[in-house]
Amino acid sequence: MPDRLDVRKTYKLFIGGAFPRSESGRSYPVTGPDGTLLAHVALASRKDARDAVTAARAAFGRWSGATAYNRGQVLYRVAEMLEGRLDQFTSQGVQNEGLDRADAERAVAAAIDRWVWYAGWTDKVAQVAGSANPVAGPYFNFSVPEPAGVVAVLAPAGSGLLGLVSVVAPVIATGNTAVVVASERYPLAAVTLAEVLATSDVPGGVVNVLTGRAGELAPVLAGHMDVNAIDLTGAKPPDRADLERLAAENVKRVFATGEDTDQDWAAAPGIRRLLAFLETKTVWHPVGI
């Protein structure tokens, strides 16, 4: 039997539950550490970023309006599907990131566990972030956490699936929708995660994935008037001040940590990222009514 050619994948963007090509028609090569060409992925444009924000906004009402328990079920279903693709993600870690197979498998397993961990928090974070407040007068006073809205996420530039999951899962677990700029160097985990999300119960538009250059896309998202918050994890330190100034134009909530290459993504995550994109609403109600 003659040798056959492999069916090469065509990697596209993930916007509104669909897989469009970049409107610019651009792409860029993705290579392994040894320079081996692995794929060409879409190079998203500023127009693609704006389209992703529109899709995220359209999905926000339905996703934030779902019960916390239901969101947890949906996220758990994603973890089930990630488990089924463990070998694929492991191979990508070896090829794209240069990990040895054992380390790649551990990183993927940690990413799946991380997703399950955040799925378990969906119906618990309100008890941690909310409260019943003592007041002087015949009133009940409650502080209730609510999602901030559309969150732009600059994924860690130096990490594959584990870093990506660590920044995306807490955003959507609390009812926000996300526009994610994947790592330019390690984008294969992001585009494969998009395939998982597209075939899961996550509604279209809840997570939108852009591949390309953070330096081109981040200013668009930081200055966009319909983006409510931005995670600067994947931004280069010299660019962060400019992005924060752009975000201040509509008083965005900005989340910034140290340089992502300094972070141990395998460490216990805590709940800081869960709380980062929640707003607190205080409600008064008369006693006896």
Q: Looking at the domain assignment, is residue 230 inside a domain?
A: yes
**For residue 217, pLDDT beyond 90:** yes
Residue 251's pLDDT band (cuts 50, 70, 90): confident
Q: Is residue 24 part of a domain?
A: no
Which burial class, exposed, middle or buried, applies to 225 when counting CB atoms under 10 A from its CB (0-12, 13-18, 19+)? exposed
Is residue 197, in this structure, part of any structural domain at all?
A: yes
- Which pTM value belongs to this model? 0.93
CATH of the domain at 280: 3.40.605.10
Chain segment 52-61, per-residue pLDDT in tens = 999 999 999 9
- Give the pLDDT mean for 199-228: 97
Indicate if the pLDDT at residue 118 is higher than 90. Answer: yes
In a domain, 23, yes or no: no
Given a cut of 80, whether residue 8 has pLDDT beyond it is: no
> 150 — phi, psi (to 5°)?
-90, 125
**For range 153-181, the mean pLDDT:** 96
What is the per-residue pLDDT for 3?
A: 83
Choose the weakest-confidence range: 53-62, 222-231, 258-267, 271-280: 258-267
Identify the band that residue 289 occupies on the pLDDT scale cut at 50, 70 and 90: low
* 132 within a domain of the structure (yes/no): yes
Residue 22 belongs to some domain of the structure: no
Give the per-residue pLDDT at 261. 61
Query: Is position 276 within any domain?
Result: yes
Give the pLDDT confidence of 181-203 residue by residue, as tens digits. 999 999 999 999 999 999 999 99
pLDDT, tens only, 15-52: 999 999 999 999 999 999 999 999 999 999 999 999 99
Q: What domain range is 92 assigned to?
A: 39-286
Residue 130, pLDDT > 90, answer: no
pLDDT at position 6: 77
**Cross-strand pairs, 207:** 178
Q: pLDDT averaged over the chain?
A: 93
- State the first-to-last Cα distance of the chain, in angstroms, to the nearest integer: 80
In a domain, 12, yes or no: no
| Counted domains in the chain | 1
Contact 257, 263 (CB under 8 A): yes
